[in-house]
């Protein structure tokens, strides 16, 4: 999951990977409001490692994550390596070493949202007429889902929680804020493996280069894939089909590498 806590935005990627590729999604604790939210990436990773080892006790594992989810995936891979397990593929999608981000101020925030609008427009311009309709439908669906998140975040930040209809109205925003803070507080350690990073053709100004510090932490190096799409587009139709094709090739290569190492 990413900051929103759910895994639904991976559905198109999974569909394009095909029915022969098994995929397991890990939803954030507390999405339903029945248990407390986890506030540290390390704690999230520990919980998720326990869950995946119930399904597959031993590696090799292939773990991917988008944005903040990539941060959690990295920590999961760290914990699996520490337990003596093999991680064949660690895939990060638009995931950054957050300690390298510039300090936020009003100007930087406005610049970020301005760039976001431009990038959405640039993605739209890359498409033909049929693809544009698909893209707009996807973005509209995302906006409707996130409206609850934005509403809850606004009430929480204004200290007006009493105006919410119920606690469930606040939960999506609280979950997003909690996950964002956890990612920003996380300090990545040297990783004894290789990182596969999927990045857009252009970054936000507040991000510092395509590798963003991973090249100094990934002892096995960084396998960089620059996708023909602008930020927030690589998991959205129709761009996700290309993303799935590249990921499939990475999976095949990782599996081949495992067979060679075993033999």
Whole-angstrom Cα distance, residue 200 to residue 230? 5
Q: What's the CA gap between 84 and 220, in Å, rounded?
A: 17
**pLDDT by residue (tens digit) across 11-41?**
999 999 999 999 999 999 988 777 889 999 9
Which pLDDT score is estimated for 208? 62
The verdict on whether omega for the bond into residue 60 sits within 30 degrees of 0, i.e. cis, is yes
Q: Which of 93, 102, 59 is nearest to 77 (CA)?
A: 59
Q: Span 222-245, mean pLDDT?
A: 94
CA distances from 112 to 54, 61, 115, 208, 232 (A): 41, 35, 5, 13, 13
Q: How does pLDDT run across 42-66, given as a tens digit for each residue?
A: 999 999 999 999 999 999 999 999 9
160 vs 190, higher pLDDT: 190
Q: Give the C-alpha separation, 63 to 196, whole Å.
A: 10
> pLDDT digits over 185-223, tens only?
999 999 999 999 999 999 887 776 656 668 789 999 999
Q: Which pLDDT does position 262 carry in this prediction?
A: 47
Quote the pLDDT of residue 153: 66
Least confident of 67-81, 229-243, 248-262: 248-262
Say whether pLDDT at 162 is over 60: no
What CA–CA distances, in Å, run from 50 to 3, 85, 134, 207? 20, 13, 38, 32
CA distance 127 to 121: 10
- Top pLDDT among 51 and 117 is at 51
Residue (of 100, 104, 101, 73) closest to 87 by Cα position:
73
Which of 158-169 are b and which e, b meaning 16 or more Cβ less than 10 Å from the residue's Cβ?
Answer: eeeeeebeeeee
The secondary element (H helix, E strand) that includes residue 134 is helix 129-157
Say if residues 11 and 17 touch (Cβ distance below 8 Å): no
- Of these ranges, 1-10, 76-85, 212-221, the one predicted with the greatest mean pLDDT is 76-85
C-alpha dihedral (76, 80, 82, 84), degrees to nearest 10: -170
Residues 65, 2 contacting (CB under 8 angstroms): yes
In CATH terms, 8-262 corresponds, of 3.40.140.10, 3.40.390.10, 3.40.50.1820, 3.40.50.80, to 3.40.50.1820
Contact between 230 and 121 (Cβ < 8 Å)? no
Specify the DSSP element, H or E, that contains 61: strand 61-66
pLDDT given for residue 250 in this prediction: 97
CA 193 – CA 91 distance, rounded (Å): 12
Q: Quick one: how far is CA 24 from the chain centroid?
A: 15
Q: Is-above-0.85 flag for pTM?
A: yes
For residues 215 and 241, the answer to whether their CB atoms sit within 8 Å is: no
Percentage of residues in the chain with pLDDT exceeding 70? Answer: 84
What backbone phi and psi angles, to 5 degrees, belong to 218? -85, 105
Mean pLDDT of the chain: 87
């Amino acid at each position: 999951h990413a900051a929103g806590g759910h895994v639904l935005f991976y559905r198109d990627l999974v569909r394009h990977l095909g029915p022969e590729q098994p995929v397991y999604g890990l939803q954030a604790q507390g999405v339903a409001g029945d248990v407390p939210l986890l506030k540290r990436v390390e704690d999230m990773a520990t919980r998720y490692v326990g869950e995946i080892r119930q399904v597959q006790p031993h590696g090799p594992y292939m773990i991917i994550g988008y944005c903040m989810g990539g941060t959690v995936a990295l920590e999961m891979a760290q914990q699996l390596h520490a337990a003596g397990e093999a991680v064949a593929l660690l895939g990060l999608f638009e995931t950054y070493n957050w300690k390298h981000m510039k300090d936020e101020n009003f100007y930087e925030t406005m610049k970020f949202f301005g760039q976001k609008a431009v990038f959405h427009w640039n993605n739209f311009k890359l498409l033909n007429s049929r693809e544009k309709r698909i893209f707009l439908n996807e973005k509209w669906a995302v906006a409707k889902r996130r409206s609850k998140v934005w509403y809850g975040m606004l009430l929480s930040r204004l200290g007006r929680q009493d105006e919410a209809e119920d606690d469930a109205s606040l939960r999506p925003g609280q979950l997003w804020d909690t996950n964002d803070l956890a990612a920003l507080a996380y300090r990545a350690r040297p990783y004894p493996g290789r990182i596969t990073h999927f990045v857009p053709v252009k970054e936000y100004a507040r991000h510092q280069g395509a590798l963003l510090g991973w090249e100094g932490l990934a002892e096995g190096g960084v396998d960089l894939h620059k996708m023909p799409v602008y930020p927030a587009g690589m998991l959205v139709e129709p761009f996700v089909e290309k993303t799935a094709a590249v990921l499939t090739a990475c999976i095949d290569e990782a599996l081949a590498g495992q067979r060679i190492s075993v033999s």
